[in-house]
Amino acid sequence: MSQATITTGGCLCGGIRYEIDGPLAPIQLCHCTQCRKAQGTAFAANIPVPLSRFRLLTGRDLLREYESSPGKYRAFCSHCGSPVFSRRDSMPQGVRVRAGLLDGDLPTHPATHAWVESNANWWDIQDELPRFDKAMPTPSI
| pLDDT value, residue 3 | 60
Model pLDDT for residues 31-72, shown as the tens digit of each residue: 999 999 999 999 999 999 999 999 999 999 999 999 999 999
CATH T-level assignment (fold) for domain 6-118: 2.170.150
* 24: nearest Cα among 76, 74, 95: 95
Give the per-residue pLDDT at 136. Answer: 82
Query: Can you count the helices (H) and strands (E) in the chain?
Result: 1, 10
Q: Is the pLDDT of residue 2 over 60?
A: no
| Statement: residue 123 has pLDDT above 50 | yes
Return the amino acid letter for 37. Answer: K
Banded pLDDT at 139 (limits 50, 70, 90): low
Report the b/e string of 22-39 with b at 16+ CB within 10 A. Answer: eebbebbbbbbebbbebb
Q: With beta carbons less than 8 A apart as the criterion, state whether 43 and 123 touch.
A: yes
Which of the pair, 1 or 33, is modelled with greater confidence? 33
The whole-number average pLDDT for the span 96-115 is: 97
